[in-house]
Amino acid sequence: MKVAVVGAGPAGVRAVERLVAAGLSPVWMDEAPDGGGRIYQRPPAPLARDARTLYGFEAKRATAIHDTLDALKPRTDWRPETLVWHIRAGAKQMQALHRGAQQRIDFDAAILCTGAMDRVIPVPGWTLPGVTTLGAAQIALKAQGCGIGRRVVFLGTGPLLVLVAYQYAKAGAEVAAVLDTTPFATKARAAPGLLLGGATFAKGLYYTAWLKRHGIPMVEGITPLAIEGDAQGVTGVRWRDARGREQHTACDAAGMGWGLKPEAQLADLAGVPFRHDAVQANWVPVRDDAGRTPVPGIYLAGDGAGIGGAEVAELAGARAALALLQDAGHRIDPIDTVTLDRRLAGLARFRAALERAFPFPAHLARSLPDDAILCRCEGLRAGELRAAARAEAATGPAPEMNRAKAFTRVGMGRCQGRVCGAAAAEILAAELGRPVPRIGRLRGQPPVKPIPIVAGAAP
């Protein structure tokens, strides 16, 4: 039986571990040079540092993932630096790009552990040099050993906001401010549920306390107004505090993000249906609790199957592998599945509380000024999308996301709407006066990420 696993983050590693234990040797592909996923991404050898420095409280977990990954490599068909850019679920084929060369992978069953990316809400000025996502700011620090600036503002909401700020401060950067768009009261209401998170919740409190102790300004309930700058880059962030007063913080870089969204393009191309998850405010691929999708032979695990975090990803990877094995007629230990299911259910309750503590601030996207860039690939401004929703447009109003894309080019550039899609949906929904689930989502098209044209003998 040919099994393909896409992704070597926490979910992919634990899935492959179970497959190998059952005597299988899957084809295992990952975009990065040495796996680990975004959360445990390893720096290139010349920048290697000890795990404690790189991953802090997560060092033990990171090391365990890396050690398992390294032990599994020789027992699988391990293919790093491989971008799977298309999947044909019916034909059971994947198409990948490996160091500039095309590869076709045949499979009987596949586990897609494709991870997540930052969810972004455009802010006027967000395309200035020196503005990155929170995740990118963290990767710069972890994998390249550099920061996005000397004096940095972190802006957005969610657990990553304080974590990245803490990591930057620890690494010696000046953190000018941590600007959280979620009001304190919202978080306080979710606190009882957050206690379910135990150690995870405690770590969040620790980072916050540490930042406060070191005199770093931390403000809740703010509204971002603009990231300001000149030809050289960012010069400051203008924002409004919870009492309505306008404030300005000088900085030379800004990292921003509002939680995560699944990188689920492969599941989409495989034909897996999607549903709108109101708690996460994300479109997520349909799967059962074990990771089975309605498409035969396609299994999902990790943040690509709906945001759950690294701990959930490890469990879900193992669980999806067991589901695959069971469906293929392998004998699996029922205690094993029951244990995994119970732990996953417990973590799901914590995740739901987390989403309630840091809800997606749709109003910020909806109130993006008309002249602000919404789709940075296509240079499209918010007002141009709003105009396409109105009846006086020559094409008639766009009733849903893909029509809006066809009319305005929103989400039609290099990133294919991965960055602007969530905010664009809010803006279009507001203009049409319909809820987001009713206006649909941008359809996935291959390639998942850009692939180069390579000269070769045309057949």
Partner 1 sequence: MTTTCDVLIQGGGGAGCSAALHLAQRGLRVILLERGLVGGQASGVNYGGVRQQGRHPAELPIARRSREIWGRLKDLVGTEAEFTVTGHLKLARSDAEEADLIAYLDVAKQYDLPLRMVGRNAIHREYPWLGPKVVAGSFAPEDGAANPRLLAPALAHAARTAGADIREHAEVVAHAHDGARFTLRTKAGDDFTAPVLLNMAGFWGGAVAEAFGESVPVAPLSPNMAVTEPLPYFIEPNLGVVGGNVYLRQIPRGNVILGGGHGENDAAIPWSRPLPEVTIEATQRAVELVPALAGAQIIRSWSGIDGKMPDAIPVIGRSRTTPGLFHAFGFSGHGFQLGPGIGAIMAELVADGRTDIPLEAFRIERFAT
Please report whether residue 287 would count as binding partner 1 according to CB under 8 A. Answer: no
User: If residue 299 lies in a helix (H) or strand (E), which one and from where to where?
Assistant: strand 298-300
Helices 334-357, 184-194: axis angle to 10 degrees equals: 160
Q: Which of 199, 231, 335, 394 binds partner 1 (CB under 8 A)?
A: 394
Please report whether residue 452 would count as binding partner 1 according to CB under 8 A. Answer: yes
Binding span for partner 1 by CB under 8 A among 75-83, 135-143, 362-370, 407-415: 407-415
> Are 304 and 320 within 8 A, CB to CB?
no
Binding span for partner 1 by CB under 8 A among 150-158, 210-218, 341-349, 394-402: 394-402
Distance, in Å, from the CA atom of 393 to the CA atom of 269, rounded to the nearest integer, reads: 32
CB of 83 to partner 1, least distance (A): 12
250 has which bridge partners? 236
Q: Which of 150, 212, 349, 414 binds partner 1 (CB under 8 A)?
A: 414
Please report whether residue 456 would count as binding partner 1 according to CB under 8 A. Answer: yes
Please report whether residue 95 would count as binding partner 1 according to CB under 8 A. Answer: yes
# chain residues binding partner 1, by CB under 8 A: 32
CB of 124 to partner 1, least distance (A): 23
Instruction: Record the tokens describing residue 283, joined without a space.
Output: 């479109």
Give the residue among 427, 295, 278 at the shortest CA–CA distance from 366: 427
Is the previous residue joined to 447 through a cis bond, with omega within 30 degrees of 0? yes
Residue type, 276: H
Here's the x/- map for partner 1, 295-334, by CB under 8 A: it reads as ----------------------------------------
Instruction: Record the tokens describing residue 400, joined without a space.
Output: 């849903």
Q: Which of 198, 294, 396, 435 binds partner 1 (CB under 8 A)?
A: 396
Q: Which is nearer to partner 1, 85 or 239 (CB)?
A: 85
Q: Which is nearer to partner 1, 13 or 295 (CB)?
A: 295
CB of 84 to partner 1, least distance (A): 11
Please report whether residue 101 would count as binding partner 1 according to CB under 8 A. Answer: no
Give the residue among 98, 1, 34, 78 at the shortest CA–CA distance from 321: 1
Q: Which is nearer to partner 1, 383 or 399 (CB)?
A: 399
Distance, in Å, from the CA atom of 171 to the CA atom of 157, rounded to the nearest integer, reads: 21
The number of C-alpha atoms within 13 Å of 398 and in the hemisphere containing its C-beta is 26
Distance, in Å, from the CA atom of 447 to the CA atom of 229, rounded to the nearest integer, reads: 34
Q: Please tell me what DSSP assigns to residue 398.
A: -
Binding site for partner 1 (CB under 8 A): 85-86, 88, 95, 102, 104, 269, 393-396, 399, 403, 406-407, 412-414, 416, 445-447, 450-459
